[in-house]
Structure 1
């Protein structure tokens, strides 16, 4: 890389990081989660009951405008009586607020960080989006390294940041930016075949418990690549962390989370009776699929799947099922870039939606960013563009056989 290109790359990186950091701190979204995270922090400080509720809402009120506070305590859709009743009850009843905390206290690293920063800035509310902004910026730095390894031009960085939603995470009061940063580090370690991948995979559940999926997928890849002992140990630690965090936080379990989040939110989830209507468990999946298709970052998945299908139709002589599994394993061993940037992210999206059918784009920013990197790394390389000439059956068979002789011509 020439000195001019290096200088331009540094300028692009610094400007992108600075913009995301400043926008996140100066224009936070201040959504309802800010209340739950502030309450989680004060609970760890030892506050309970009315004192916990009073301190939480006083902290939030000091940081937001009067209109925003009214929205947080009464709802922003007058016709939505469920949301309005939920927020009013949580505001007025300390018991209701306390029962929301187990949904948020499982993000233990994020809460400890906002407590640390909160003592510096004298506001837990401010610290929620300061931490998010800082880790969004750090995530961009790690993403820039992924771009370098994937041989994607550095000028693509700001477009990937905006297209995947990394820039929006900086404004939120949530653990998502911290999780994306840690997940990006884990993927980078996988790409570099670094032993740090085992440590990072083991601690991912402490960032967001649903990132146990990323941990297991990454470690499955490492297991296939013959690093089996370390993969098994790291997976065991990750699972132990996942179970311990949920137990320590008093998590209500999947059924309560499902009903509270995608069926009907209740101010008193500890007393929730799960729905017995089977349609309540079907409708969320339909809604999640619709939300995913209509979301801004769905284009990353659509284009990535298009590329994959085009490549398979062009290069692949479809083998029997018994040989298909061997082919997939071979790809994991020999094409780590596609595995890390496409297979792991896409399987994370699929697994997450299968277990929790609620498509909020912030949950899948990591997947969208990595998929965009893969598209840019593969889409312009000669021989991989899907609009190029399809190979003949003989050429396709020879191409597959070059990777694995056992899958070549019969």
Structure 2
């Protein structure tokens, strides 16, 4: 019996060693396959099983609106489109779950006052409108979500391939999972859509492709204007660390110039009203709503958002783990390119700046920055064995 156990142990050990040798020789291919399959799975799930939340009504109406269209027509289009595409139970939840939803379903004028929050994401709503010429509006949203997920996963593959880090693709998959990639891809919101432009722009920045960086970062801003905060910090850190990027400068200048016209054209109610609505009270209509600014209320919002960030969401954990990895890399004397350092510093300062200007606790609002932060560190980790071999 002991001899049999010994034979089994030796076979298991030999099998384990053989598996390790196979992985070592084919790690990049396995990593590529794993990341590609993960991306494909997320994109397919995003298309087939989308998450339908209340915001879908507002995005549909914003994409459908043309000059002179009245509130009743926008309201009818949005609600009938969703009613024809979801179950009766889900539609009931979206229209009767709370007083806010009941009022929005019953009152087209109240519903129309909310659209400024959504029309300001101009490129996203415009893309829904453009695709709606070819397919059903909700299918257009699903297509945008699926294609955005595919673009983010594909960009991750290209990023790791250029850095010869595809063997570390499992770490990229873990980072994407921790950053809620799957859930964000299923949402009918501009988070994944804008992240695709943003991350491609960041890779262009790292490769010093200034035209591409400027164009892509500006497109990310047009999809989600709050990216302007990160782009501004990126410009400042680039100047401080002596790696000026005129592409980033162009993107930030474009964002500054376009911000007021876009918000005014969208009918955005303003920073403080948006803050109040998001964190204090979902008022049923914005008509005549103008709460006075209060430093005490602002402080309360920041504290509550911080608490919910650390208790309910993963993004602080991703940053903590990332900072620990950055420290370990520095301890092992792994050299980072200057623009890689700029991205790491900008991510920490940019999230802090964005949080101070408009505290948002959900991981999806920081998703693009977390992915950029993680991919820079994973690419640097791929250089660790070479460095250690020379020490």
Q: TM-score range by the shorter chain?
A: 0.7 to 0.9
- Cα distance, 1:200–1:262 mapped onto 2, change above 3 Å: same
Residue 380 of structure 1 deviates from its aligned partner by 7.8
- Aligned with 1:219 (options 228, 232, 235): 235
CA distance in 2, matches of 1:301, 1:254: 27
Q: Hey, what does 2:65 align to over in structure 1? A: 43
Q: 1:262 aligns with which of 262, 274, 279?
A: 279
Deviation at 1:230, TM superposition (A): 5.4
After TM superposition, the structure 1 stretch with the greater mean CA deviation from structure 2, 247-256 or 303-312, is: 303-312
Q: 3-state SS of the aligned residue for 2:259?
A: helix
CA distance 1:44–1:362, change in 2 (3 Å): farther
How far apart, CA to CA, are the structure 2 residues paired with 1:99 and 1:27? 30
TM-score, L = length of structure 1: 0.79
1:11-50 alignment, distance < 5 Å: 11-44=33-66, 47-50=69-72
**CA apart distance, 1:187:** 1.0
Structure 2: runs of 5 or more not aligned: 1-23
Provide the C-alpha distance between the structure 2 equivalents of 1:232 and 1:11, rounded to a whole number of angstroms: 37
Partner of residue 394, structure 1: none
1:301 paired residue among 308, 319, 327: 319
Q: Which residue of 2 aligns with 1:397?
A: none
Matches of 1:232 and 1:264 in 2, distance apart?
A: 37
**CA distance, structure 2, for counterparts of residue 270 and residue 362 of structure 1:** 29
1: CA distance between counterparts of 2:233 and 2:255? 12
Distance change >3 Å, CA 28–CA 46, structure 1 → 2: farther
In the alignment, the residues of structure 2 paired with residue 45 and residue 129 of structure 1 have an alpha-carbon distance, to the nearest angstrom, of 26
Instruction: Kindly state the Cα deviation for residue 222 of structure 1 after the two structures are TM-superposed.
Output: 4.4
Q: CA deviation at 1:182?
A: 0.8
Determine whether 1:91 maps to 2:105: yes
2:363 aligned residue: 361
CA contact (8 A) 2:122 2:222 kept: yes
Looking at structure 1, the residues matched to 306 and 164 of structure 2 have their Cα atoms a distance apart, in angstroms, of: 32
Q: Is the 8 A contact 2:213 2:247 kept in 1?
A: no
CA distance in 1, matches of 2:383, 2:155: 24
Helix, strand or coil at the partner of 2:209: coil
Deviations 1:150-202 (A, max 9, x none): 55422333222212122211110101111110110111011111122122233
The counterpart of 1:70, out of the listed 92, 95, 98, is 92
* Inter-partner Cα distance in structure 1 for 2:293 and 2:220: 34
Q: How far apart are residue 130 of structure 1 and its match?
A: 2.4
1:132 — aligned with what? 145
From the superposition, tell whether residues 276 and 74 of structure 1 become closer, same or farther in structure 2 (CA, over 3 Å).
same
In 2 relative to 1, CA 149–101 (structure 1 residues): closer, same or farther, beyond 3 Å? same
Q: Is the 8 A contact 1:201 1:238 kept in 2?
A: no
TM-score normalized by the length of structure 2: 0.82
Distance 1:178 1:230 in 2: 21
Q: Tell me how large the CA RMSD over aligned residues is.
A: 3.0
With a CA cutoff of 8 Å and minimum separation of 6, indicate the structure with the bigger relative contact order.
Answer: 2
Specify the SS of the correspondent of 1:236. helix
1:56 aligns with 2:73: no
Give the C-alpha shift of residue 110 in structure 1: 1.0
When residues 276 and 379 of structure 1 are mapped into structure 2, their CA distance, relative to the original with a 3 A threshold, is: same
CA distance in 1, matches of 2:61, 2:193: 19
Aligned partner of 2:119 in structure 1 is: 105
* 1:146-185 to 2 correspondences below 5 Å: 146-152=159-165, 153-185=168-200
Please point out which of 245, 258, 261 is paired with 1:244. Answer: 261
Q: Deviations over 1:326-364 (max 9, x none)?
A: xxxxx99x5222322x22222221111111112111101
Distance 1:34 1:372 in 2: 30
Q: Name the residue aligned to 1:282.
A: 299
Answer whether contact 1:345 1:366 (CA < 8 A) is retained. no
Do the aligned residues in 2 keep the contact of 1:259 with 1:275 (CA within 8 Å)?
A: no
Q: Indicate if the aligned counterparts of 1:146 and 1:188 stay in contact, CA closer than 8 A.
A: yes
- Report how many aligned residue pairs link the two structures: 359
Q: Does the residue aligned with 1:209 lie in a helix, a strand or coil?
A: coil
For residue 135 of structure 1, report the CA deviation from its aligned partner.
0.6
Deviates most, 177-186 or 152-161: 152-161
